[in-house]
């Protein structure tokens, strides 16, 4: 683990200095600008309860962070393999698992950048309400866990796939599948199947947690189950990543 | 002392046998030429030697370590210049060397990275990002990176790709110097036979998944001839026919005589001619016979 600092530093610099990273952040800011503008200026959306507006904005920020985590995670190994830089890392005394964990730290750093960038947008739509601070706290916690989950699985996939496109297509499909139950109507989500899908879906758990904190103003005790599920997935993602990258062949 | 020992190495990709009972030995201080046609398995062998690929069978020891079991320990002591190696284009040359130095647990000082850049002919004052470098400059930087941990064995996969003649000569001189002064063992996988003739003392030719020849570059046992041009101080002293064992005169042109040397080491042939009173003032090797041997071996069996 002695190479960690060097590898993490490289991943973080690459996140912000590469043209791909900058383009993703710029696109993210564009999306957040459009949505926050809609929430404060659109006639119907501006009538939303302040808490609802903060919740919607938080959900958009999480979705954006996950999208970036899936794209960057898929690029992690497969992209470096395509750019012929992976071999340079693997011919050093660094183990593939160390590279993987450093890349995961890079994704978390990327999420921190997105989180900091999103604060002004959240403030713009929710500064007059009471739940902005809890929203920020739970957004940070759930966002971090979700980035580790989706980023970790994407990286694991990337370590096994030969091409970035292949890893990305599977990663995006998984991302969309995890987001799709949210599109179910309220009645369907209340059904047994809907509840079960909600229970096992980390994305849905994070959104339910935010809903319960921001909209319903419920305390920390009500968040234990969704938080436990998110932590379970986080541990699973780190385990899968470490097992997948015990040996990465060129 | 054996520093690389491979016995009956096997490797297949999707059912296609790439290596099938490959065996080779590299000794300490060798500059070892690893030859073979495209797709013959040279890069695969090098990747297996560094523990970046699993073998399907056989015994491998590099510096007495197993690449599969002691990969990290082994990679600390060796280095490689892969054939196709990307670069972090946003880094500068010094950052690149410092980054890889840190991965080997080394903190390169300014003097260190300057020395590494200068010895491959790069300007340490060049502060441009690597993405703006030419192909040749990148190749030189790759060589500088491969020397960053002062490896005991240096594996080079097509090291002079993209280099101009001056650059090639500089790399040749650097490798010979490292081999002579630091006793660094060098394994060169290349198609450029001139590189091999100039640098290597031992070679192996990999073809049809097996080593077809392994041994000294100038091996009388192979039965191949080497052509030399001799310049004589007195062209009147050239006899009409030469009758020395293993040496036959082919053509005369003024003070120059072209001879074919066969079944005798060139150094011995030269000594013999001098002993016989031939006034040789200069000897130029025309070819080592490596090309014809390589073409003969690789023409056998499937391509």
Q: Which is higher by pLDDT, B97 or B243?
A: B97
- Could you tell me the two tokens for A162? 């030969």
Q: Which is higher by pLDDT, B181 or B288?
A: B181
Query: What residues in B contact A13, CB-CB < 8 Å?
Result: 90
What's the rounded Cα separation, in Å, for the pair B4 and B16? 25
Q: Is residue A65 part of a domain?
A: yes
What's the rounded Cα separation, in Å, for the pair A73 and A85? 16
At residue B45, the 3 state secondary structure works out as helix
pLDDT attached to residue B149? 93
Closest chain A residue to the Cα of B46, Cα to Cα? A91
Query: What residues in B contact A2, CB-CB < 8 Å?
Result: 105
Interface A:B, Cβ pairs < 8 A: 63
Total of domains in chain A: 1
Q: Is residue A28 part of a domain?
A: yes
- Sheet harboring B280-287: ordered strands across? B247-253, B256-262, B225-232, B280-287
pLDDT attached to residue B247? 84
Confidence of residue A2 (pLDDT cuts 50, 70, 90): low
- Measured between CB atoms, does A44 come within 8 Å of chain B? no
Q: Is residue A206 part of a domain?
A: yes
Render pLDDT for A217-240 as a digit per residue (tens, 0 to 9). 888 888 899 999 999 999 999 999
Nearest to B144 by CA among B105, B182, B170, B180: B170
Q: Is residue A86 part of a domain?
A: yes
Range(s) of the domain holding residue A36: 2-244
Render pLDDT for A48-80 as a digit per residue (tens, 0 to 9). 788 888 898 999 999 999 999 999 999 999 999
pLDDT attached to residue B303? 43
Q: Is residue A64 part of a domain?
A: yes
pLDDT attached to residue B221? 43
**What percent of chain B clears pLDDT 70, i.e. is strictly above it?**
92
Q: Which string of DSSP letters, residue by residue, matches chain A? A: -TTHHHHHHHHHHHHHHSHHHHHHHHHHHHHHHHHHHHHHHSTTGGGS-HHHHHHHHHHHHHHHHHHHHHHHHHHHHHHHHHTT-HHHHHTSS--HHHHHHHHHHHHHHHHHHHHHHHHHHHHHHHTTSS-HHHHHHHHHHHHHHHHHHHHHHHHHHHHH-S-HHHHHHHHHHHHHHHHGGGGS-HHHHHSHHHHHHHHH-HHHHHHHHHIIIIIS---GGGGHHHHHHHHHHHHHHHHHHHHHTSS---
Q: Specify the DSSP element, H or E, that contains B181.
A: helix B165-181
Q: Is it the case that residue B293 has pLDDT exceeding 90?
A: no
Query: How many Cα atoms are found within 13 Å in the side-chain-facing hemisphere of B138?
Result: 18
Place of tokens 């985590």: A69
pLDDT attached to residue A52? 86
Look at B56-60, B98-102, B276-280 and tell me which has the smallest mean pLDDT. Answer: B276-280
Q: Is residue A250 part of a domain?
A: no
Q: Which is higher by pLDDT, B182 or A126?
A: B182
Confidence of residue A183 (pLDDT cuts 50, 70, 90): low
Query: What residues in A contact B88, CB-CB < 8 Å?
Result: 10, 14, 85
Confidence of residue B295 (pLDDT cuts 50, 70, 90): confident
Are B85 and A88 within 8 A, CB to CB? Answer: yes
Contact predicate A52/A137, CB 8 Å: no
Q: How many residues are there in chain A?
A: 250
What's the rounded Cα separation, in Å, for the pair A198 and A14? 35
Q: How does the average pLDDT of chain A come out, rounded?
A: 88
End-to-end CA distance of chain A: 22
Query: What residues in A contact B145, CB-CB < 8 Å?
Result: 88
Contact predicate A227/A149, CB 8 Å: no
Q: Is residue A249 part of a domain?
A: no
- Measured between CB atoms, does A14 come within 8 Å of chain B? yes
Place of tokens 């410092």: B98
What's the rounded Cα separation, in Å, for the pair A35 and A23? 18
Confidence of residue B236 (pLDDT cuts 50, 70, 90): low
Q: Is it the case that residue A44 has pLDDT exceeding 80?
A: no
Render pLDDT for B196-226 as a digit per residue (tens, 0 to 9). 888 888 999 999 888 998 988 865 445 667 7
User: Rounded to two decimals, what is the model's pTM?
Assistant: 0.82
Provide ipTM, 2 decimals: 0.82
What's the rounded Cα separation, in Å, for the pair A10 and A98? 13
Confidence of residue A182 (pLDDT cuts 50, 70, 90): low
Render pLDDT for B67-77 as a digit per residue (tens, 0 to 9). 988 988 999 99
Are A95 and B72 within 8 A, CB to CB? Answer: yes
Strand-pair partners of B210? B207
Q: How does the average pLDDT of chain B come out, rounded?
A: 86
């Amino acid at each position: 683990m002695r190479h960690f600092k060097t590898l993490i530093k490289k991943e973080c610099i690459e996140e912000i200095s590469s043209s791909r990273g900058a383009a993703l952040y710029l696109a993210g800011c564009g999306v957040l600008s459009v949505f926050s503008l809609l929430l404060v200026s659109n006639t119907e959306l501006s009538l939303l309860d302040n808490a609802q507006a903060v919740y919607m904005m938080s959900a958009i920020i999480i979705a954006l962070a996950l999208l970036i985590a899936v794209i960057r995670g898929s690029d992690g190994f497969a992209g470096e393999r395509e750019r012929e830089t992976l071999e340079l890392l693997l011919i050093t005394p660094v183990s593939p698992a160390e590279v993987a964990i450093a890349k995961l730290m890079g994704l978390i750093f990327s999420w921190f950048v997105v989180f900091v960038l999103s604060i002004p947008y959240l403030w713009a739509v929710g500064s007059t309400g009471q739940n902005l601070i809890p929203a920020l706290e739970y957004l940070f916690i759930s966002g971090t866990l979700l980035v580790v989950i989706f980023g970790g699985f994407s990286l694991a996939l990337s370590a096994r796939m030969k091409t970035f496109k292949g890893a990305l297509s599977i990663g995006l499909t998984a991302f969309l599948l995890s987001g799709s139950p949210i599109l179910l109507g309220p009645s369907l989500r209340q059904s047994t199947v809907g509840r079960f899908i909600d229970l096992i879906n980390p994305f849905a758990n994070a959104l339910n947690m935010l809903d319960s904190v921001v909209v319903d103003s419920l305390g920390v005790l009500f968040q234990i189950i969704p938080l436990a599920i998110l932590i379970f997935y986080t541990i699973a993602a780190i385990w899968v990543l470490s097992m997948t990258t015990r040996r990465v062949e060129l | 002392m054996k520093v690389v020992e491979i016995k009956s190495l096997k490797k297949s990709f999707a059912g296609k046998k790439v290596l099938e009972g490959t065996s080779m030995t590299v000794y300490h201080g060798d500059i070892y030429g690893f030859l073979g046609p495209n797709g013959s398995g040279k890069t695969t062998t090098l990747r297996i030697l560094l523990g970046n690929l699993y073998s399907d069978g056989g015994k491998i020891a590099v510096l007495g370590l197993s690449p599969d079991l002691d990969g990290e320990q082994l990679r600390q002591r060796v280095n490689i210049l892969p054939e196709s190696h990307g670069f972090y284009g946003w880094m500068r040359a010094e950052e690149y060397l410092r980054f890889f130095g840190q991965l080997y647990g080394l903190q390169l000082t300014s003097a260190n990275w300057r020395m590494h850049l200068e010895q491959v002919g790069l300007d340490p004052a060049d502060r441009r990002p690597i993405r703006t470098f030419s192909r040749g400059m990148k190749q030189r930087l790759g060589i500088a990176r491969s020397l960053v941990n002062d490896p005991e064995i240096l594996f080079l996969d097509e090291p002079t790709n993209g280099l101009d003649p001056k650059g090639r000569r500089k790399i040749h001189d650097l490798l010979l110097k490292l081999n002579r002064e630091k006793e660094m063992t060098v394994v060169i996988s290349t198609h450029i036979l001139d590189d091999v003739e100039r640098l290597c003392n031992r070679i192996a030719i990999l073809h049809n998944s097996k080593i077809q020849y392994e041994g000294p570059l100038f091996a009388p046992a192979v039965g191949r001839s080497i052509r030399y041009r001799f310049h004589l101080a007195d062209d009147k002293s050239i006899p009409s026919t030469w009758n020395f064992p293993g040496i036959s005169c082919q053509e005369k042109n003024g003070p120059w005589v072209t001879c074919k040397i066969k079944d005798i080491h060139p150094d011995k042939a030269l000594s013999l001619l001098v002993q016989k009173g031939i006034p040789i003032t200069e000897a130029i090797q025309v070819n080592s016979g490596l090309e014809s041997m390589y073409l003969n071996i690789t023409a056998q069996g499937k391509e």
